Amino acid sequence: MSSLPPCPKCQSIYTYEDAEVLICPECAHEWSATETDQPAEGNAAVKDAFGNTLQDGDTVTVIKDLKVKGSSSALKVGTRVKNIRLCEGDHNIDCRIEGFGAMQLKSEFVKKA
C-alpha cells in the first residue's frame, strides 16, 4: 500500500494522487499534499459573541432575548446554560435549558460564563 495521508475531511484511507493533488474517492475532497498538516475544514474553533473560545462542557449566558419556535415564551437575557456540547452547522451549540428542554443555539448569541 502507499503512504498517502487519509482525507482531512472524512478520514478515508482510500486517497489517491493525481498529479500534484490528493483526492478522496468517498467524499470527492481534493487538497494539495502541502495542506495535510493543517486541521480539517470543520474543526474551526467555536467562539462566543466576545471572541472567547468555547469548549464542550462550558457554561454560557444568553446575551439577547431569543424567540423559540413552537413556544409562546422567549429565552430571556441572562439565562445560564450549563454543560454545552459543540456541533457542526449554523446552530453550533447543543444544550438543555430548564423550562425549554433540548435545543440548539448560535454561538454569536452567548457569552462564556
Q: How far is residue 74's CA from residue 35's CA, in Å, rounded to a whole number?
A: 44
pLDDT tens digit at each of 113 positions of the chain: 468 888 888 888 889 988 888 998 888 888 887 754 444 444 568 999 999 999 999 999 999 999 988 888 899 999 999 999 999 888 999 999 988 899 999 999 999 98
Model-wide pTM > 0.95: no
Query: Is 82:92 a contact under the CB 8 Å cutoff?
Result: no
